Structures are given as C-alpha cells and as structure tokens.
Structure 1
Amino acid sequence: MKSLVAEEIVKVYQEGGSRVEALRGISLALAPSEIVILEGPSGSGKTTFMSVAGCLLSPTSGRLSVEGQGVDFSRPKDMVRVRRESIGFVFQSFNLFPALTVLENVLYALQIRGKLTPEYEREARTILEQIGLGHRLDFIPARLSGGEKQRVAIARALSGGSRILFADEPTANLDSHVGLEVLGILRRLAKEEGRSVLVATHDPAVRTIADRVVRMRDGCLVEGENG
C-alpha cells in the first residue's frame, strides 16, 4: 500500500482580477521506505504541492489519501487529524523555539499534537539520541550548530510516530559536509525505519539519496515518474 497518493491536484489563486494556477493536475504517490526528490525553480509549485499533500492547504480540486484513508478537505478537523497522526515537516529555517531546550522543543511539538504521553516522551529522547543529540538535550538553540538545529527539527517532525516526512530545502542553510550528514539521517529514516520521505530542493547533492526524482515547472510535473 502506498503511504500517500495525490491525484490530479489543482490549486488556483485569485489575485486581484487575475487567476493564477499554482498547481495544474499534479499526481504523485509515495511508498514506505521511499525517498522522492521534488526539484524545480522558485515559483514552480513545489512548496504549494507539499502544503496540499501535507494537509496545510486545501486544493481547488483533486484527491489525497494518506495511509489508506481519504482526506476530506472540506473538514479542517480532518486535515488537522492527518497532520497530527501521519505527517512531519522539516523546514530550511529550522523553526525552533529559542527559549526552549532541545528536548523541550520536541516535547512541545508532542503537546501541540496531543501526544505528550510517557510513551512518546521516551520515543522523543530515543530519536534525539539516535541522531546524535543525546548530549545536547538541555541546550537551547543558540548553543547549537546549524546541523544540530536541523537534527532537532527532524526529531520534532518525527515525534508522535509520523510515518511520512516532508522536508522543504533541508540543506539550504548548511555547509556541504553538514548537509551530507543530514541527508544520511533522512536516508536512514527511510531505509531502516520504513518512513516515506519527500524532499523539495534546489541542492543537487540531495539526488544522492533519491529513489526517484520528479521535476516541477509552472505547476506541472515535467520529468520523472508519477509513481
């Protein structure tokens, strides 16, 4: 079974008197343990597609199923449920809370998702240890390197048992060496833990971990297989 299936996703914006087609019938599927790279120039629709597929944004039309269940975009509570239960997000700007420690950043994400239980707290600690931050649990973000901040962001995205990970330019603010370390973590999460990973990027180095590369231009998929 595919972990995520998007079919004929269309997103249209009305800007003044103009009609802007941000997505023009995008179909894409992710399988467990698969890493799919989404490439394309700025304005091609990558982030918009990830926002729809991640249930942050409703499409104008199209269908989405996540872990075998259809998403009802007419019901905001259904979108929230899918985000909480199945999908984690990693952003290039890290989006960490500066006054919270590494562990508190992850636990706060669990609290927001309604999953701050002893079981998930233990899991959060385990994830942080697995990605090399076991000795940084009590550090605030200002005391971390860029690579460490991105690792915290990954741990936070995985908290609560998310099986699908969306990463938007995860290496953009990192030097090449640290970027490769982060890519190694993403690959391990897919291949050893069976998670599905979708990465939107301009960085050609990200191709080194890809099972499949698709390319977007002007709201359309123009290269690669739709899965």
Structure 2
Amino acid sequence: MEISFQLKTLEPLKGAWDILRMFGNTDSDRLPADQIMQTLDLSERVFNKAMRRLVTKGYVQMDGSLIYRVTENGGRVIAELLAYDEATGGQPTKTSSRRSSVSRRMMCAVPVSATANQPAPLFVGFHPGDVPDDGAEVVVRVTVLNGQPDAPEDMIFALDGAQAYQIMTIVPGLFDQVRLRLEAYQLGEMGDVQPAGGMYVDLPVTLRDGDSRLTAYGADIQLLD
C-alpha cells in the first residue's frame, strides 16, 4: 500500500507517526502532552520537535495548557496511517527511510596574506539560512597546518536562522602558506556526532608586510532534520 507524500515526509521525524497512531487508537481527540510523552517514552525535546511539525502541518492544535487536539485534516491523515499499518504491519517504506536535511553556508574569512610568526585573525561562521525545525548544534573543528595553534580547536555554534560567527587567532610559521582545515559536525540529541561537511583554505604567508584585507571562503554543509 502506498502512502501519501504528506505522511512520507513525517516518517523520518522520530515520534511523529507514533503520536498520530496514539490519537487514532484512543477514544478522545484531546490528549495532554505529559500523557503522550509517558506513553510513547519520548523525551521532551523529541516530543516538542515532532509536535511542532504536526501543528505546523495543521494536523494537531493546542487547546489550553499543553492539551493537544486532532484537527479535521489530522483525522484524515490518521485514518490513512492506520489503514497503512493494517495493510503492511507498519513497516517503513524504502523511499522514506532517509532523514531529511537542510543546506547551510559555512564561511571563513582570513587576511589576503599573513606575516610569518605574527598573529592573524580567522573568522568562522554561517550565513543566515535554513536550519532543522529545532535548530542545530554544530561544532566546527579548525586545524592549522604549518602554524599555530598546534592542536585542533573546536568552535561550537547553536544555529538558528540568523548569521553567526566567531573569531580565533592563528600564527603562521615560516612557510610559504598555511593550510586551514575546517570540519563541521552536527551534535545529536543522544550525544551522537554526524559529519556535516567542511573545507580547506590555503593562506599565503610572507616574511613581512602581509596584506590584512580580509577575503572570504565558503562551503555548504548538510544538517540533518
């Protein structure tokens, strides 16, 4: 049995289908948030993320203080989901097993050229753009080859839709260039770490009189929903 596109987009979101099933298998069209979380063993963060999507799509509304009610449109989707479960045993479809993702532009800015053994600024950040529904916590690991710091340093970003950036200081060594490696990792709610992308930047180095004007580089990373 095929399911609608609307349901397929919900399947990768943990808890969304289970919440709809719970509404479909109870006599009441209103359920309190704590009862849903306790019955389905959902953390508050997972519940909020799933419920926010269901409310946005118009399947559920909040009545009063953390009491949720199924809408007419939600009732139709629940009926489809229960029919799908009866026909297939609730097994996930192959086409909807992947987690959805959004693209976000990661940027860095460095001087046009740097002076050997002299500190230089490194700006790391993100353009305004899309994020998963519940935001994203991203670690950017910066590695400096042929310079300092000697060990990789991590920058942590709690991303929403706005621009975000941080600054660190690097010190080029006595080489023709410094290679900067930026690796982005998305932190999951259960402590898991997901590689999201990265980039390399080669910064020219001179013995004296580096060019302090900034030049920017960018690469898209992928954030899982």
If the length of structure 2 is used for normalisation, what is the TM-score? Answer: 0.23
If the length of structure 1 is used for normalisation, what is the TM-score? Answer: 0.23
Greater relative contact order (Cα 8 A, min sep 6): structure 1 or 2? 1
Higher Cα Rg: structure 1 or 2? Answer: 2
More helix by share: 1
More strand by share: 2
